[in-house]
Structure 1
Amino acid sequence: MSSSTGRPARPSTAPARTLDVDRSDPDYRAWLKDAVRRVQADHNRSADTHLLNFPLPEEWGIDLYLKDESTHPTGSLKHRLARSLFLYGLCNGWIRPGRPVIEASSGSTAVSEAYFARLIGVPFIAVMPRTTSSEKTRLIEFQGGRCHLVDDPRTVYEVSAALAAETGGHYMDQFTYAERATDWRGNNNIADSVYQQLRLERHPEPAWIVATAGTGGTSATVARYVRYMQFDTRVCVADPENSCFFDGWVHHDPGASCPGGSRIEGIGRPRMEPSFVPGALDRMMKVPDAASVAAVRTLERVSGRKAGGSTGTGLWSALKIVAEMVAAGRSGSVVTLICDPGDRYLDKYYSDAWLAGQGLDIAPYTATLEAFLATGAWRD
């Protein structure tokens, strides 16, 4: 089934919204009120994530910061998204007591949604590619969720909608609702948090914020906030291999697609997702997967922190922007994200055997990064 744009049509989530309970029923309203309270209380218990400094030579006059989203209770940037999606679904009357929440996810969103499902006492099913890291599967199950694996990553949407119809549950559909469930005008969203944390730094208004895109919700939130607050900051999205976002953005093609799935878990999509807002972005970069891996290994070498592959995709682009600023003699600050911790990917991005099996040679990209950090010159 295809839409007029040439991309697969999004399956209806209507079965998840056909309620068989009276919205005015006192027992349901009491459950709903308590569920919303529990989700909001989680936010109150969670301190903001740290903004870390990436070491650069002082004489460059440039500061590079990494917003460490791995310190959320479920260990990733997706904790923010999952919280917003649950509040959105609850307040819209889509999530019901005793009925499962189902999500199409490559891992981290599912870990976070499983956490919130358990928090409010509903079942959770994650529909995800069979290639998802075993550690993410373990974390989903640890949070009380169930994993439904598919061989073709492109079928996660249809399978999720079908499970929702079969069970009477709610298909959360992060790829549609990520950009609208989050309050991009403020309310301590990730962009507002970054600016508050930079307030006393020498370059409090960053020249660039670099994000990566899975749903596209984070980049949409950041870009809209920047424009709403009338900042001069530019927003760049780094896109991995096996993802269509870059081509769709370059060619203004909402029907762009690509075969297969991304090797960089959590980002990159085979089709242009509804939550990806290309018109809000100032720039995109296409980043080779080997460069992403080289970047996270460089991050570990200079900071002692392991991070996931999506962090490497953003960090590679952020460092390239820093190199452009150095070459132009400009000072300022750049911000990117630590999306999730590297211990979820020890059998992938930190495994030389996995790299060899994928045919990825990170040596040239590692050399580029090492030469840049030593000299300030970027050699593609």
Structure 2
Amino acid sequence: MAESSEPLDGPVDRSCSRTRAWVDEAVRKVVADANRSADTHLHVFPLPESWGIDLYLKDESVHPTGSLKHRLARSLFLYGLSNGWIREGTTIVEASSGSTAVSEAYFARLIGLDFITVVPRSTSPEKIALIERYGGRCHFVDRPPEMYTEAERLAAETGGHYMDQFTYAERATDWRGNNNIAESVFEQLAMERHPIPEWIVVGAGTGGTSATIGRYLRYRRHHTRLAVVDPENSAFFPGWVTGARDYATGMPSRIEGIGRPRIEPSFVPDVIDLMLPVPDAASIAAMRHLESVTGLCAGGSTGTNLWGVWQLIARMLADGTRGSVVTLICDGGDRYRHSYYDDSWVAAQGMDLAPYTAALERFLASGEWSPPEKR
């Protein structure tokens, strides 16, 4: 056993004015970044007036790093700084090849720290370039399941901090308010004709967003219900249905930012009122349909959200419910020009978007919801 030079029968002072000063300044920089950023827009999707239903899309793509994950990264950095896990010189390590890594690289650079993210070797050059734009470095693994353990190893090897978004996402955000996404939505709806929505629809990647919104709805005693949509290959929907917290598919999601091969620790199933599985072709068709109707260019997870929204609005029409529905534009579509918006890429994935696009156009024209049968 190692011997300590500190006496064990008296007070032990581990405080360091320099360390606290650095943390104070780092927190100030992160909070100042939030203060410089305006709230994200709440767009209105044009629906037939006779329906008596309003659809709002909260546009998270306008954050400085272009996605919903900017909120998560900010919360994770403040959580790590406040817990004493992040200090001057700490190397930040994450397991992410997507938008979370981009946003965490941004905040690491903001406070002067190195950032390494563990990514599959198959990660697209576009994603790598986005991470590197903010000074991040990519560490490659051959198999996606290896990302977690390799991130832990790198953090230990460098004396760094493993951010572990999949564990801490639901803990890092103050779900009672403090300008979280749920509070922001309700403040922006205050002057609308249906200020308390019937449904809020989101996807799950870490599970942090759905946990924050679901808790906030209960805390504020709103009648709003939370629906979570899930793409193909993801473990969240079957795990929610069966109640199996260890459910795993072992398969990656084709829809960036949502869906996981296993149930993640930050996923809180008991705050979810409804889960809807969504075919990947439907996600991409709905994403493209959004741009054709509104000019808003979004990523695939936004399409997943919208496919769920249309099902819920169809239910509202069927039972005569008037009210509002809110969902998220999770990120911008420009980063997917060589995938989701590329017809050759879609065809190579074996997806036929035409039946889903036709179903959306028919629904908005007639109110008749008749999606293609799953093959």
TM-score (norm 2): 0.94
Give the counterpart of 1:217 among 183, 201, 208.
208
Q: Secondary structure at the match of 1:238?
A: strand
| 1:103-114 paired onto structure 2 within 5 Å | 103-114=94-105
Q: Who is 1:283 aligned against?
A: 274
Q: Which has the larger radius of gyration?
A: 2
Percent of pairs with identical residues: 68
- Contact kept, 8 Å, 1:154 with 1:260, in 2: the verdict is no
Q: Secondary structure at the match of 1:103?
A: strand
Q: Who is 1:260 aligned against?
A: 251
Give the counterpart of 2:172 among 181, 185, 197.
181
1:273 aligns with 2:267: no
Q: Name structure 1 gaps, 5 residues minimum.
A: 1-21
Q: Who is 1:85 aligned against?
A: 76
Separation in 2 of the partners of 1:23 and 1:366? 62
Q: Name structure 2 gaps, 5 residues minimum.
A: 1-12
Separation in 2 of the partners of 1:348 and 1:132? 12
1:167 aligns with 2:158: yes
Separation in 1 of the partners of 2:354 and 2:131? 34
Separation in 2 of the partners of 1:64 and 1:371? 18
Q: Secondary structure at the match of 2:254?
A: coil
Offset at residue 360 of structure 1 (A): 1.0
| 1:13-92 paired onto structure 2 within 5 Å | 24-92=15-83
Give the counterpart of 1:154 among 145, 168, 177.
145
Question: RMSD of the alignment, in Å?
Answer: 1.0
Counterpart amino acid of residue 195 in structure 1: F
1:227 aligns with 2:218: yes
- Contact kept, 8 Å, 1:234 with 1:282, in 2: the verdict is yes
Separation in 1 of the partners of 2:215 and 2:189? 18
Q: 1:274 to 1:112 in 2, by over 3 A?
A: same
Q: Who is 1:17 aligned against?
A: none
1:84-143, Cα deviation, whole Å (9 max, x unpaired)? 000000111111222210111131011110000000000001112334343222111000
Q: Secondary structure at the match of 2:229?
A: strand
Task: Name whichever of 23-32 and 309-318 sits farther off.
Answer: 23-32
Q: Secondary structure at the match of 1:28?
A: helix
Q: Secondary structure at the match of 1:210?
A: strand
Counterpart amino acid of residue 299 in structure 1: L
Separation in 1 of the partners of 2:48 and 2:120? 42
Q: 1:23 to 1:43 in 2, by over 3 A?
A: farther
Offset at residue 23 of structure 1 (A): 5.2
Q: Could you list the runs of 4 or more consecutive aligned residues of structure 1 that deviate by over 3 angstroms after TM superposition? A: 130-133
Q: Who is 2:354 aligned against?
A: 363
Q: Secondary structure at the match of 1:147?
A: strand
Q: Secondary structure at the match of 2:338?
A: coil
Task: Name whichever of 93-102 and 284-293 sits farther off.
Answer: 93-102
Task: Name whichever of 212-221 and 148-157 sits farther off.
Answer: 148-157
Count residues with an aligned counterpart: 359
1:298 aligns with 2:289: yes
Separation in 2 of the partners of 1:233 and 1:305? 26
Give the counterpart of 2:324 among 328, 333, 337.
333
- Contact kept, 8 Å, 1:114 with 1:140, in 2: the verdict is yes
Q: Secondary structure at the match of 1:191?
A: helix
Task: Name whichever of 61-70 and 319-328 sits farther off.
Answer: 319-328
1:100 aligns with 2:91: yes
- Contact kept, 8 Å, 1:101 with 1:171, in 2: the verdict is yes
Task: Name whichever of 104-113 and 291-300 sits farther off.
Answer: 104-113
Offset at residue 55 of structure 1 (A): 1.1
